[in-house]
């Protein structure tokens, strides 16, 4: 039972000063085994903060990240699942499902985690699952100011992944849960 945190698009310090305190109180070290970060942190301090939560940190480069050494894409295997990470500003049109599916096929992963749109999305389609954890700080995006802070926690257990979505709506943390099961051929959502 592996807990994987998917988080990104914080845009600290340019567009937001810090994570919302309610989120910060939930993110304590010791519970999470991996962190997947879509990018746009942007500064080293945020990177260090994530490192304190969990030493296993995977991060890809967003367009405003100050550390240029992050890769553009990354893949990793957790349990039975192959995960892929990409920030998403490279994928045109931004947030378009078909284009993202192309990236997924390119990376050959079951779960693709992208960001950049600052909107939470979780699609199941064709060969896999695409998850967009949104912006953890609620920073404004390239096309809208109306952004709710959100992030995603995946619980990978064998062939099943449970996706918990944490959103800060009107100052309250709302949690939602989505189940994905991976079959031999394709993951199915229900």
Binding region for another protein (CB under 8 A): 1, 3, 25-28, 30-31, 153, 155, 157, 162, 164, 166, 173-177
Asked if 38 contacts 115 with a C-beta cutoff of 8 angstroms, the reply is yes
Give the nearest distance from C-beta 157 to another protein in angstroms. Answer: 6
CB neighbours of 76 closer than 8 A, spacing ≥ 6?
34, 58, 82, 83, 85
Beta carbon nearer to another protein, 25 or 80: 25
Give the nearest distance from C-beta 153 to another protein in angstroms. Answer: 6
| CA–CA separation, 131 and 128 (whole Å) | 10
Beta carbon nearer to another protein, 1 or 92: 1
Give the nearest distance from C-beta 131 to another protein in angstroms. Answer: 16
Sign of CA dihedral 39, 44, 45, 51: positive
Give the nearest distance from C-beta 172 to another protein in angstroms. Answer: 8
Beta carbon nearer to another protein, 22 or 105: 22
Note every long-range contact of 13-22, with CB atoms under 8 Å and residues 24 or more positions apart, other chains counting: 13/42, 13/43, 14/42, 14/64, 14/139, 15/137, 15/139, 15/140, 16/135, 16/137, 16/138, 16/139, 17/137, 18/137, 19/136, 19/137, 19/149, 20/137, 20/138, 20/149, 20/168, 22/168, 22/171, 22/173
Beta carbon nearer to another protein, 10 or 161: 161
Give the nearest distance from C-beta 171 to another protein in angstroms. Answer: 13
Give the nearest distance from C-beta 169 to another protein in angstroms. Answer: 11
Beta carbon nearer to another protein, 107 or 173: 173
Beta carbon nearer to another protein, 65 or 167: 167
């Amino acid at each position: 039972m592996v807990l994987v945190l998917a988080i990104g698009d914080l845009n600290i310090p340019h567009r937001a000063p810090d994570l919302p305190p309610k989120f910060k109180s939930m993110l304590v070290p010791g519970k999470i085994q991996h962190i997947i970060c879509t990018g746009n942190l942007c500064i080293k301090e945020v990177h260090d903060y994530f490192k304190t939560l969990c030493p296993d940190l995977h991060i890809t480069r967003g367009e405003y990240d100050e550390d240029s050494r992050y890769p553009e894409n990354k893949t990793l295997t957790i349990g039975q699942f192959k995960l892929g990470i990409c920030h998403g500003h490279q994928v045109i049109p931004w947030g378009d499902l078909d284009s993202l599916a192309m990236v997924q096929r390119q990376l050959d992963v079951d779960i693709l985690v992208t960001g950049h749109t600052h909107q939470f999305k979780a699609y199941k389609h064709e060969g896999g699952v695409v998850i967009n954890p949104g912006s953890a700080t609620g920073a404004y995006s390239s096309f809208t100011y109306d952004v709710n802070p959100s992030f995603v926690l995946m619980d990978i257990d064998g062939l099943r992944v449970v996706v918990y979505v944490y959103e800060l709506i009107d100052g309250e943390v709302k949690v939602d849960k989505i189940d994905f099961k991976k079959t031999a051929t394709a993951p199915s959502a229900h």
